[in-house]
């Protein structure tokens, strides 16, 4: 089976708490392989002209706490790319905003979800080095969406309104 494919919405990995990446996985190259597989799956996604901006490991059936952001659009103000391993949102703005959301794992649905307007993320990069970064707007939304994946939650589980994509 080719691991670099998106799994179906009912896949167990999308509904369970993902496991932390340990030091051995950084050393033995499995983290780098996983990231490569995730990038392949992300690049392969193009449905009705929608391109992907981020993906979490459970979306390719790997229950590990890894997500990456890599905007596939050709816009000039693209979201900066980064990898987040064992991420934790350490700070959230109190303010919530209802935002439109879709998901690679729920390809035919679109919904509105309450998300914090700003978050601060603490995570490790692909070499195991810890970093923190603040995010607002769309990037804050993406970080919350991807962290949800690592906790076994899909946006449709949180959405206020869900509709089928036209």
How many domains is the chain built from? 1
pLDDT of 166 above 80: no
pLDDT digits (tens, 9 = 90+) for 102-156: 898 998 899 999 999 999 999 999 999 999 999 999 999 999 999 999 999 999 9
Residue 6 is assigned to a structural domain of this protein = no
pTM: 0.93
The predicted structure's pLDDT at residue 1? 41
Nearest of 120, 106, 119, 123 to residue 31 by alpha carbon: 123
Residue 5 is assigned to a structural domain of this protein = no
Residue 36 is assigned to a structural domain of this protein = yes
Residue 2 is assigned to a structural domain of this protein = no
The predicted structure's pLDDT at residue 50? 66
Higher per-residue confidence, 166 vs 10: 10
Residue 35 is assigned to a structural domain of this protein = yes
Strand positions, DSSP E, 15-160 = 46-47, 50-51, 54-56, 66-69, 82-92, 96-101, 109-116, 118-124, 130-136
CATH of the domain at 144: 3.90.45.10
C-alpha span between 109 and 166 (Å, rounded): 9
pLDDT of 30 above 70: yes
pLDDT digits (tens, 9 = 90+) for 31-42: 999 999 999 998
Burial of 74 (0-12, 13-18, 19+ CB in 10 A): exposed
Residue 4 is assigned to a structural domain of this protein = no
Q: DSSP secondary-structure letter at 64? A: B
Q: Which percentage of the chain shows pLDDT scores above 90? A: 74
Residue 1 is assigned to a structural domain of this protein = no
Domain that holds residue 152: 12-164
Nearest of 111, 112, 110 to residue 165 by alpha carbon: 110
Token output for 29: 């190259």
Instruction: Examine the residue annotation and report whether 19 is marked as an active-site residue of this protein.
Output: no
Residue 38 is assigned to a structural domain of this protein = yes
The catalytically annotated residue of 112, 132, 146, 160 is 146
């Amino acid at each position: 089976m080719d691991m670099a494919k998106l799994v179906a919405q009912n896949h167990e990995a999308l509904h369970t708490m993902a496991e932390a990446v340990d030091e051995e996985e950084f050393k033995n190259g499995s983290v780098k392989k996983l990231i490569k597989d995730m990038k392949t799956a992300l690049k392969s996604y193009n449905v009705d002209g929608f391109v992907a901006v981020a993906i979490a490991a459970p979306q390719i059936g790997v229950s590990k706490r890894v997500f990456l952001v890599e905007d596939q659009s050709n816009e000039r103000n693209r979201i900066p790319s980064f990898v987040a391993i064992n991420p934790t949102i350490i700070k959230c703005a109190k303010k919530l905003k209802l935002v439109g959301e879709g998901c690679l794992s729920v390809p035919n649905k679109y919904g509105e979800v309450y998300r914090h307007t700003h978050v601060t993320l603490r995570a490790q990069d692909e070499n195991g080095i810890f970093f923190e970064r603040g995010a607002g707007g769309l990037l804050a939304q993406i970080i919350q969406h991807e962290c949800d994946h690592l906790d076994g939650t899909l946006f449709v589980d949180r959405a206020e309104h869900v509709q089928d994509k036209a």
